[in-house]
Structure 1
């Protein structure tokens, strides 16, 4: 296509034939088409018109590819995040147990190893060192004074493992502060691991090997035997573990089928081991406004109501014990198991004044209801006693004296509906039972008592004697580092 100009006169003559006359000054334009250029022009037009379409199409395809790729990765990540491997159900505090054939009609269920991880014990408070195999009916609360040394604490814990207390009780240690709790944490873990090793070693003994288990001072695994009962509840401490329990039941049923089924199946049963510190159970230090100094022997009475109030429907019996001054040799609840839930059993305390009743506050046992009511009354009585003393004697308040006054007041018995049972016996001191010699007869005399006292002069000697007796057995000594 080209553009040509023609003179004005010729254009005017042609225009008069088709239209009216017009007077024009200047140039007119005439369009002339050239057929020979059609192919080239069409090609240029097509190229100009097709390039934008191709660009848009390619961008669209690229965008769709990116979206599809993004969707694929999203689905892949979602699938992986919801995938649970087989080991995810294993928790630090309760492992999948191993069932070992004990005889043709009996087998034993026990964990292979305890891990040293910890978690919260109850409602984001406390520390759970070992979660029991099931819920226990009895609870032992052991307060650990600041002046308690590691050696005495270790011996106390070792004895309650060996004498079977942890077979029937959950054990709670009450510390004065988080720093004290962290100081003794490694001791708790070591003794828990030693207990696990003892279970493993004694369960693998042949039936003919009895020289390690006949003696009274040797570890007796039969105290921890319990018949498998499906109705037994899970431990209340720590997180609930439903998946593991179902796997345990599956393993038990499989082994029972292999053994011919039946009612001879035995399971290892033990309680939880945990701790709280006083700042968790008594954060405001309730007695601080009435006493210049509040030792744990007094502050513990302000901690008990918080703890026992939260677990009051879970336990039938409760034991309160001082770790520093007492050693548990046998079941401490033997005298109260058949008593009413309101019963509280107290030991008499040696007193030169025979006319005055004195009870020992270091060990308190009884029904959960009676002990809980006593713990609710004691803080009020401590405050009352502190206000009656003048400022110079405020720190002379003793929980043993307050408890003795409370027991001697019959009106308080009826008012608080507590049935006190006062033993005519006192807790014997270990020194009076052992004497100077360290023979087997003296060691046996220790085990004739459920609870003994360290004494005031020879704590270290008594601890060394008992530990020596434990380490005298080859099998038992192999699991303790200090043997």
Structure 2
């Protein structure tokens, strides 16, 4: 029988290293178990007892087995670590790509509609297309924050000539030197139809200011035939960023010259579906014209800008033209005040007009708080009128409802109502006049707006400087007269 060789005293240090190595190998085997017992060598622990003396491993064989096992374990450890690093690198790579992906696709998110609007005026190119909270269209950004706002609704049957004359006279009236102008269109397609007119009139207006400023700076006398007063716009802009659009630094000192010290408001528009997306009156009326739907749009618009403006004017583009600033009557009044005009057929008795006769709904002016309250009351009154059983669903008139509302002291108990003693003159009553410079507001009337447009164009084209700016219209006017 064979026997295990006795350990010599001088090999004590070697046995200690071997035992330590075996414990390390056993620890590694816990985390990296053998996959194939036939190919992977095993390590005998202290508890393993050999059956035959001849099968007892020698110290050299143990070293070979330990070395082979160590190499296999190290190979597995390296493979595992490599796989872990690969997974970690892949995870980091995917996270990085997912983080930067929106930046690569950001240019595709710009709607083509905003690119199409950057066309006519150099002052429009730098500004975003949206006016407020991703709604509306910004045609021209003003030079400062304004205290007043003019909200103009454009009825469905408004012609291009009516819209152009209204906007041109609005610019020339001086009202835009103190006010922002907002148009409400019946739909987005209607807004697109009138957009080129807005751009053209904005460009002509800026050219007119620049021309007058240059001539005034060279000590030229102001032509007596021109009724446009550019000094109202050529004032140092007060501090305050315009509400509409993004804050963008603009330098007018280049090609715009004197416009670097001009002061004018913004021009923008909304369509009714943006301000009244549910079409609030559709459930009460078979057909909701913009003359009625606008009262559902006002609360949304005026509510969002209630901290930005002190005075509000509501205007009908089709039936009214503005020659001079009419807000002088309400700027010194309380925020709850509302100024209305009586119907043209009933003249000078304001007390009788307020109690009995109808009120003209083509224009309302007043403090922002008072106009908001009237808008809410009008919306409620329209719904009540539409729900009356004896009323036909399409017979509701905003002028009739406003007149009833004015007579109802309880409905407007929180409004300081001021009824003018003078009605708005109609163009037919001024047919023999060649100048409307003494009037603040004129009502077009029925069937005579072509005569009004002709008179206005003749008045503008009689000035050398004005005819230079509005060259195409003046040339066309000369050809018609010839």
Structure 2 contact 143–237 (Cα < 8 Å) conserved: no
* Conserved? CA contact 1:114–1:196, under 8 Å: no
Q: Which one of the candidate residues 425, 428, 433 is aligned to 1:431?
A: 428
Give 1:468 shift.
1.4
Deviation at 1:211, TM superposition (A): 4.4
- Matched with 1:350 is 344
* 3-state SS in 1 of match to 2:169: helix
Deviation at 1:270, TM superposition (A): 0.3
Which stretch shows the higher mean deviation, 352-361 or 177-186?
A: 352-361
Q: How many angstroms apart in 1 are the aligned matches of 2:409 and 2:377?
A: 14
CA distance in 1, matches of 2:325, 2:237: 22
CA distance in 2, matches of 1:364, 1:141: 10
Q: Among residues 407, 415, 434, which one is paired with 1:443 in the alignment?
A: 434
TM-fit CA distance, 1:455: 1.2
User: Alignment partner of 2:281: what SS?
Assistant: coil
* Correspondence for 1:222 among 231, 252, 275: 231
In the alignment, what sits opposite 1:197? Answer: 207
What residue number does 2:152 align with?
A: 142
User: What is the SS of the residue equivalent to 2:410?
Assistant: helix
RMSD, matched Cα:
2.6
Is contact 2:377-2:412 (8 Å) kept? no
Deviations 1:244-292 (A, max 9, x none): 26x78xx89xx9xxxxxxxxx9921000000000000001110010011
Q: Is the aligned partner of 1:418 residue 2:377?
A: no
Matched ranges for 1:221-260 at <5 A:
221-229=230-238, 232-241=239-248, 244=249
2:165 is aligned to 155
Cα distance in 1, alignment partners of residues 210 and 265 from structure 2: 17
Q: So what's the TM-score if we normalise by structure 2?
A: 0.68
Taking the aligned partners of 1:228 and 1:327, their CA distance within structure 2 comes to 27
Whether the 8 Å contact between 2:150 and 2:314 is mirrored in structure 1 is yes
Does residue 469 (structure 1) correspond to residue 459 (structure 2)? The answer is yes
1:327 counterpart = 2:318: no
1:198 partner SS: helix
Alpha-carbon distance in structure 1 between the residues aligned to 2:151 and 2:260: 28
Instruction: Report how far residue 464 of structure 1 moved.
Output: 1.0
Counting strand residues as a fraction of each chain, which structure ranks higher? Answer: 1
Partners of 2:260 and 2:447 lie apart in 1 by 44
1:124 aligns with 2:134: yes
CA distance in 1, matches of 2:260, 2:207: 19
Q: Which of structure 1's runs of 4+ aligned residues deviate more than 6 A? A: 352-355
Alignment-derived partner of residue 315 in structure 1: 309
Is 2:184 the counterpart of 1:184?
no
Instruction: Indicate how the Cα distance of structure 1 residues 220 and 113 shifts in structure 2: closer, same or farther if over 3 A, else same.
Output: farther
> What is the rounded CA distance, in whole Å, between the counterparts of 1:228 and 1:379 in structure 2?
37
Aligned equivalents of 2:275, 2:415: Cα separation in 1? 24
Q: Which runs of 5+ in 2 are unaligned?
A: 1-103, 105-114, 116-120, 347-351, 475-482
Shift of 1:131: 0.2
Equivalenced residue count is: 346
CA distance in structure 2 between the aligned counterparts of 1:473 and 1:418, rounded to whole angstroms: 44
Q: Does the 8 A contact of 1:430 with 1:462 survive in 2? A: yes
- Tell me the TM-score normalised to structure 1 length: 0.68
Alpha-carbon distance, 1:425 to partner: 1.2
Give the C-alpha shift of residue 316 in structure 1.
0.5
* Alpha-carbon separation, structure 2, partners of 1:163 and 1:351: 26
Which consecutive residues of structure 1, in runs of 5 or more, have no partner in the other structure? Answer: 1-80, 82-91, 93-111, 256-264, 436-441
After superposition, the Cα gap between the structure-2 partners of 1:228 and 1:311, relative to the gap in structure 1 and judged at 3 Å, is closer
